[in-house]
Amino acid sequence: MTPLISESGLAGLAMKLLAEAKERTERLGSDLVQAPDEIRRLYAASSDALMSGSGVRAFTYLLILLLVGSAVEWLYWSYAMAPFNALRATPVLTPRQALRHALRRLLFLGSGLLLFTVAAIGASAAFTWPKGVHELVVAATLLLLVLRAAWMGVSLILAPGRPRLRLVPVESRRARWLAAAAMAIVFLLSLEGFVPELLERVVDARHAAAAVRLAIASLTAALLIAAALLFIRRPVRVAGTAGRAPPRISRSFLAALAIVAIYAIWLLSSTSTALIVAIVVVVVALQMALRDLVHFFWTDMEDTGLLPGIVLSAARFVVVLLGLGACAIALDTPVSELAASEKPLVLLGLRILAVAALVLLANVVWITIKTSIDHRLGQIAPAVHGEPGPGARLLTLLPLLRVTTAVLITILLIMSSLWALGIEITPLLAGAGVVGLALGFGAQALVRDVIAGIFFLAEDAFRIGEYIESGTSIKGTVERITLRTVALRHHNGPLHFVPYGALGTVRNTSRDWVIEKFNIPMPIGIDSEKIRKMIKKVGEEMKADPEIGPLIMESLKGKLYRVDPGVKIFRCKFRTAPGKQFDVRAQALKRIEASLKAMGIGFADGTQTVLMPAGPAA
């Protein structure tokens, strides 16, 4: 057993980290002590260089480069200004239109900025520069490019002064301050990326570069903390003790705490570690804000449909991938070297990243399929007059498809994740086949139910909302369908769960149409043709009725069916929508009764009149 206090134990790791932090702190202190002398030396050397002929010549060349870049960009805008002004005059009414508008403006502005940069840097190759000056000029041009690109992005996203063009849900009164803070942070980060490196490579001022880097990092951290406290105000609820209101932790406080932690890691540890932690924090923050940001573009619509869910899932996936790419860049190690590394922690990290990518990809696929199915289910027309609508088959199959897809994606994700972790899945598949065979023999009823259900659904034997009768005398309305059973609601209320294998012969009384027949007893002496015409007239009146007529597919008709002692039986029939025959029949009997009463005719009372022939006179 490894002792706790050893080079490989937790205590040894902590001691190593403390030693590294102490060494870095001492190095920073030494740099700060020696930096003033280097800065004074650099200032004197820079003053002498600028006052010399080569310095004046270099400054003149720099002005020429800026003029060349500006001239090329001006030439571009002389042709592009008219369509750009027409684009700016285009009315914007919705956030999605604002996004399309911003992309078009980005194309115009980005093209001009790219031409300026290419012209300026390309023209710099035509001059002979003093030693180290060319690098300074290129770095200054790139710094200008970064600042202009940053302002372009800030103006397109926040759109200070133009709320209609804003691409984020930010209040107008805070947009200007947020834009200023963003530009200040970008400026400081740009300086931190260019100035210390130039000091180290061009003039070999390592201590001054470290001091400048520390000053810029400290100022950036302070500005980020101030921005977090000013612009992040929504609280996050934390579960508290039952019976009391849960305490609140401000998001601004959490953001400020994260910035302080990153700054401390950078100060006491390595830059790459601080960058990785910062990337993780940014990815988490973006994941928390993505839902509001994505749905912001559909705030003008009552029914957003399936697109926001798909876009949100894809955006989460892209953000994580970008975060992983940024972490790889922060490590400053080629991907090929990482993949070929034999270190267990590196291999474990790569495999975990592969599993995370698979999970995100599976989530994108699942959200896309689930949202599409839910959206289609929401579009299915409701039943008319209680009859299953035309989308009843989709209403039956789509939930099963959703469950089946979830199971399939989960199985594939588990298998792929095991393979990504380096676990051989071939024995698992073979073992799963043996276990499945054993379960198949031991659960024959379950297998029979599932297979029977597949054939019932494939043959479209019944749908949600239809009334069926099974061979086991169980009947009812289909309420729910699963992979093994069908739930039937009896007309008296009980809910029966019937396995597919026990259904047997299925009688569907809700499909297409129903013919209803009933008998009318009439007196034996009635005129049969007169009664037939009366029934036909009642049927025509019912067909023309705006309430009952749409339910009738074939009008009511009647004819003499049979003659019993003392009574004539008339058989009436009509065709109607399934489930509506009872209402139509009650209406038909009511109208027939009224018509007979108006004709002075009553129904047969069941008595028989026997006429005896007169006998011979006594």
pTM higher than the cut 0.85: no
Q: Which residues contact 372 (CB under 8 A, 6 or more apart)?
A: 306
Residue 182, domain member (yes or no): no
Q: Which residues contact 528 (CB under 8 A, 6 or more apart)?
A: 560, 568, 570
Tokens representing 447? Answer: 């297998």
Q: What per-residue confidence (pLDDT) applies to 215?
A: 86
In angstroms and rounded to an integer, the radius of gyration of the C-alpha atoms of the chain is 42
Whether residues 493 and 525 fall in one domain: no
Band the pLDDT of 544: cuts 50, 70, 90: confident
Q: What is the total count of domains within the chain? A: 3
Residue 316, domain member (yes or no): no
Kindly report the CATH number assigned to the domain that includes residue 518.
Answer: 3.30.70.100
Q: What per-residue confidence (pLDDT) applies to 1?
A: 40
- The residue with tokens 């820079």 is 46
Q: What per-residue confidence (pLDDT) applies to 161?
A: 78
Q: What per-residue confidence (pLDDT) applies to 572?
A: 92
Residue 546, domain member (yes or no): yes
Whether residues 590 and 544 fall in one domain: yes
Whether residue 236 is predicted with pLDDT greater than 50 in this model: the reply is no
Whether residue 227 is predicted with pLDDT greater than 70 in this model: the reply is yes
Q: How far is it, in rounded angstroms, from Cα 500 to Cα 445?
A: 10
Convert the pLDDT of each residue in 323-360 to its tens digit: 877 777 776 655 555 555 555 555 666 677 777 778 87
Whether residues 457 and 481 fall in one domain: yes
Q: What per-residue confidence (pLDDT) applies to 240?
A: 42
Residue 558, domain member (yes or no): yes
Whether residues 430 and 340 fall in one domain: yes
What mean pLDDT value characterizes the chain?
A: 76
- Whether the CA torsion 573, 575, 576, 577 is positive or negative: it is positive
| SS3 call for 568 | strand
Q: How far is it, in rounded angstroms, from Cα 35 to Cα 29?
A: 10
From the list 185, 280, 190, 300, the residue with the least C-alpha distance to 231 is 185
Q: How many CA atoms lie within 13 A of 141 on its CB side?
A: 28
Band the pLDDT of 614: cuts 50, 70, 90: low
Beta strands in 465-583 (DSSP E): 467-469, 475-481, 485-489, 495-499, 507-508, 514-523, 552-564, 567-576
Whether residues 369 and 417 fall in one domain: yes
Domain that holds residue 380: 333-436
Whether residue 513 is predicted with pLDDT greater than 50 in this model: the reply is yes
Q: What DSSP line would sit under 581-599, residue for residue?
A: HHHHHHHHHHHHHHHHHHT
Whether residues 526 and 502 fall in one domain: no
Residue 92, domain member (yes or no): no
Kindly report the CATH number assigned to the domain that includes residue 468.
Answer: 2.30.30.60
Q: How far is it, in rounded angstroms, from Cα 347 to Cα 113?
A: 42
Contact 180, 154 (CB under 8 A): no
Tokens representing 45? Answer: 């050397």
Band the pLDDT of 454: cuts 50, 70, 90: confident
Whether residues 491 and 568 fall in one domain: no
Residue 122, domain member (yes or no): no
Of 401, 421, 436, which marks where a domain is finished?
A: 436
Band the pLDDT of 370: cuts 50, 70, 90: confident
Residue 5, domain member (yes or no): no
Whether residues 431 and 505 fall in one domain: no
